[in-house]
Structures are given as C-alpha cells and as structure tokens.
Structure 1
Amino acid sequence: MTTRSKGKSTQSDQNKIAAIQKHLNNRVFLLDASLIDKPSDGDIQIISLRNPSNEKSTKYLYAKEKQQFFELLSFSEEHRSWFANDTVYPDGNLYITSPFDPLFLALYYIRRNSSDRCQPIDQTIVDEDFTNTHLIADVMTVQQMSMIADQKGDASLKAFKYNESKALIWLSLKCEKLAKSLKESHFHIGAKSINYIKTEKVGNESQNDGEYLSYAYGIIGDYITLELCEKLSDKLGLEKMKPAMAGKRKSLIELENNTLKRIKSEENFATANMLETVSPSPPPPKEKKVSAKELKMAKAATGTKSISSFFMKK
C-alpha cells in the first residue's frame, strides 16, 4: 500500500515537471520577416558562441540559408507571462533578434591566434569549447577579413595575419557611422530631460558630436575585448573617458529587469531554477538602540573599577 502510493506520487511529480518543462519550451520571439518567409527545416538555429567581449558563452541565432548571424536578446519584466492558445506560459520574456556582424567574432579569434603568424581562416577561427565556431569561418569572405587582417600566400588558401592598424580603422568607422546614425535619428543622450533639451539652444556643435561618438564607442566596446577597447579609445581621441567606460563595461547578465539582456548559455536555455524552491534569507538582526539613560550611566562609570576586581587574589 505504501509502495504503491509512493509510486503514484513519484509519477505525479514527474508529470508536473514534464508539464512545466513543456511550458518553458514555449517562448515568444520577435523575428525579422525574412527569417520566417518559407524557412526550410533546420534553417534557423540557436547556437552558443564565445562572446568576444567577456569570453563567456552567449546565445546567437544563425540563419543557415542566408548565412547570417543575429544577436539574441531578451526583454524581461517582473511578474510577466504570456497567454496564448488558451494556455498561460510562465516565461514572460520577449526574445528579440538583432542583425549581428560576425566580423566581431572573427576579430576575437584572429587577434588571439594569428597575431604573430599567418594561417588559413579555418585553422584560425577554432574553439574546442564551442563546436559551432566553424560557422563563423564559413561565412567570412576575403573582403571582410581584409578589413582586419593581411592576406598572405595563394588566394585559394585564404590565409591571413592580424593587422591591428586595419582593425582599429574598421572599428573607428563603425563608431563614426553609428554616431552619425544616432544623431540623425535625434537619439537622446544624457541625464537631462528631453523636454528641456528641446527648448534650450544648441551651443557647441562639436561637443554634441563628441557625445554621440563617445556613446557609440560605448556600444561598440561591448563587442570587443577591454584591451582593444582602450586602444580604440586612443584612436578616437577619447583617452579621458577610459575611467568612465571601465564602470560601464559590466556584464549584461547583471543588469536589472526592464532592460535588454544578452542570453547566456545556461541549462535548458533559460530557467531551470524555476523548478526549484528557494528559501528566503533570514532578515538581518536589528541594531539595539541605546537609551539616553544608559548613555548617562556609561559616562558616569568611566574610570571606575568593576566590583569583581575587589575579590581578586592579590
């Protein structure tokens, strides 16, 4: 009787876990129309690659037919869920895909593996910890690689050696182009209110350009190593901003809710910890308040001996 009821309980728990896992596997994605226009089987893949900035595992979306990478972001909000097809899905995150230049990924590997020697792309862009790294080498063209490296030997070999001067020029152009786009779209930068900025007169135009450039530099800096980020700062003439950027370059996994987060590679691609109950931490002990009377008594006792001192052996 006991064994039978225990077996039923175990089966019931497994069914509940399976139901929860089924809900967790349903998520809402915001995709580009080109990605869902008659896709073939296995065309769209969610893969894990090494983040070129912090070297941690990060999720990307790869469109095989288009040979295009997308950065996978999530917009999370507290106490949020989705209601679809008469079902409530507990994962209320909104997953967003953003086109991503794979040359940032290639830059990390060629800078690490081909700084002092020339070798083919398929031998440069390799990573034992990430099996899908070869996809980066598959989509790289000679024209793209020539922006950050020098081609050596026979053209059919596609062998390159890292050129830091080229890489910094390419990154500088990325920053300048992004800064121009932000300015033309009237993107708001700064702590002042938008209404206040509209009413005030624009004083120093070059100063505004510098603000947009530094903001663009902060965005591009999230896709390169800290060492290369500092060299880019020198290239753009933003040396004075290094201390400020050091505080800005924090992992997106530490950001609060209501922000866009890069999706880290975790077990079950999201929230296995939703199946566990976390016990709340005990509240910190309250500090005992000292009354005015106790303060006066302590002050009066200053310099006096304890009564036990009279009974000590001399």
Structure 2
Amino acid sequence: MNSTVWWEGAEKTRVLIAPGCGGNEPGELLTLCHPKSENGTCYLFNNGMLQEIQWFKQSYGSWFLGDYISQDGSLYMATPVDPVFILLPIFDKARMKKGEDPGKFRQLDEILYVEGYSGYQHLLALAEKCMEIVCQTQEVGSMKFYRLDNSKVLAWLSFKVCCLKKTLPELDKNYAAQDEQQTLVDAVSIVGEYLKTEPWLKLLYDHLGLEFVDPTMKETNVESLLTVDENNMASSNSFQEKANKKPGKPTKQAKLETGSKNIRDMFSRACKKKC
C-alpha cells in the first residue's frame, strides 16, 4: 500500500510517495550509481525494498497530501526497482574479466565496496538474497564467493523482457494493436533503460535474435540531419539574396530624416487654411 512520508531536508521539506513505507519513517536514502548513466542517483531503501526516487514539479499550485500541503508543488515519488539492475554493473566490474576468462570469485563485502558510494554497504543482505540468480557461487568454510555469469544474466534479462512483453498490451491499446515483434522490441527498449549498451544491451539483442540499433547513434544521426538542414537553409537564403540583387547597380539605402521639414510645412499649411 502506498504511504506518504516527509522529512526535513537541508533547504526545504520534501514530500515523498513510496510503496510499502508504512508509518512516518522514510527509510534510508542511498546514493548509488545509475546502472546505465553511472551518475549518482538517489534511492530509498526501506523494509528490504529498493526504490528509485523521481522528482516532479507543477508549474503552479500545490499538492495536498493527507493533512500536509507542499506549497511549491514539488513531489518526490519512489518506485520499486529490481536491485539486480542496480547491482549488475558493480558485480560485472568486480569479477575483473579479461577476454574469454570468466573472471574471479569475490566476497560480497569486497564487491559492494565502491569508492565514493558508501550506500552499497547497506545492500549486503539484499545482494545476498537476490544476486544468486545471476551469479555462480562457491563456499569455502563459512565464506561465500560470487562471480557474475553471462548465461544467467541473459536468462534473467530474457525473463524480464518476456514478462514486460505480456504486460504492455494490457496497459495501452496502442501496444495491443501492434504486431508481436514490435512489442518485443519495445519491451527490450524499456528494459534497456537500465542497461549499459556494452555488453548487456547488445548481448540481449543478439540473444533474442533482434537487430541491434545503438540508441546513441540515433541521436547523433538526428543532430547531424538538423545541422545539414540548417546549413542548407542558410545557403539557400544567401543564394536568394544574391539573386534578388541586380548586377551593376549598388543597393540604395533609405535615408532617415530626424527633423522632417516636410511634416512641419504640412501642418503649417493646414493651420493657415483653417485660419
């Protein structure tokens, strides 16, 4: 059940809607690396659930939430995110894979030590619970070691895509009207919002038998087309201006008269006629 919580920040009170918070405790706010952009991103960790925080702001008005009013219209909403997405990049780096070498087994406390991001240390129990689905494990005495496994990752990602593909037609009539192949491509694209292009997104396309199109190349192509259009437009305007000019005759410039005698004479003559 959704709950509304708020807490006093450094500058202003922040309002947060978070699934399963319960009570007035906002849980722990952790700064972790976003799995795709690698930028520091704020997450809420509460009752063993990791939730990504998103910020919305109305251009006017305010939010009325229970007995509390956020006067500036700011709203922070937390939505659950599968922690495997968030932990996948650091588990990938931790195995120190080179070429065809499968990499090293590491303990969780080693893997979750990320310089500059102490928030990962709070996810030790969560990682132990969820990361076996994409890792090989080895136990030596009381110690347990983890190593990310590509085949397990691809199986997990394929399952995510399959579930999303089934859900999309139920959410929107446009998805229900399109063919199954396009829905599959859309599902991969949505999952890809939490995946680095190399290696996971590209491997997922190959695994599902889809033609890979680098989304960053699309943006570059659009920017290039816009630049070409702008240059063509500028050249066309320049050519048109030259064509409009008659050769051999300099362009005459209009003269501006600051104190026009003609206007004064006109009013003088009008006054004399009235008199």
**What TM-score, normalized to structure 2?**
0.67
Give runs of aligned pairs for residues 221-300 of structure 1, distance below 5 A: 221-227=192-198, 228-239=200-211, 241-244=212-215, 246-247=217-218, 295-296=245-246, 299-300=247-248
Does residue 51 in structure 1 map to residue 34 in structure 2?
A: yes
- SS of the equivalent of 2:245 reads helix
Which structure's CA Rg is the greater one?
Answer: 2
Cα gap change, 1:292 to 1:161, in 2 (>3 Å): closer
Number of residue equivalences: 217
In the alignment, the residues of structure 1 paired with residue 169 and residue 69 of structure 2 have an alpha-carbon distance, to the nearest angstrom, of 44
Q: What's the counterpart of residue 182 of structure 2? A: 211
In the alignment, the residues of structure 1 paired with residue 150 and residue 60 of structure 2 have an alpha-carbon distance, to the nearest angstrom, of 45
Cα gap change, 1:219 to 1:187, in 2 (>3 Å): farther
Give runs of aligned pairs for residues 51-130 of structure 1, distance below 5 A: 51-63=34-46, 66-77=47-58, 79-82=59-62, 89-90=71-72, 92-114=73-95, 115=97, 116-130=103-117
* Greater strand share, structure number: 2
- SS of the equivalent of 1:140 reads helix
Q: What's the counterpart of residue 158 of structure 2? A: 172
In the alignment, the residues of structure 2 paired with residue 86 and residue 153 of structure 1 have an alpha-carbon distance, to the nearest angstrom, of 51
The Cα shift of 1:107 comes to: 1.1
The sequence identity of aligned pairs, in percent, is 22
In the alignment, the residues of structure 1 paired with residue 243 and residue 104 of structure 2 have an alpha-carbon distance, to the nearest angstrom, of 79
The Cα shift of 1:126 comes to: 1.8
Cα gap change, 1:29 to 1:103, in 2 (>3 Å): same
Q: Aligned partner of 1:238: which letter?
A: L
- SS of the equivalent of 1:160 reads strand
Is contact 1:26–1:89 with CA below 8 Å preserved after alignment?
no
Unaligned runs of 5+ in 1: 1-20, 190-196, 250-286, 303-314
Cα gap change, 1:52 to 1:88, in 2 (>3 Å): closer
The Cα shift of 1:211 comes to: 1.8
The Cα shift of 1:232 comes to: 0.9
Cα gap change, 1:209 to 1:93, in 2 (>3 Å): farther
**What TM-score, normalized to structure 1?**
0.60
The Cα shift of 1:46 comes to: 2.1
- SS of the equivalent of 2:153 reads helix
- SS of the equivalent of 2:189 reads helix
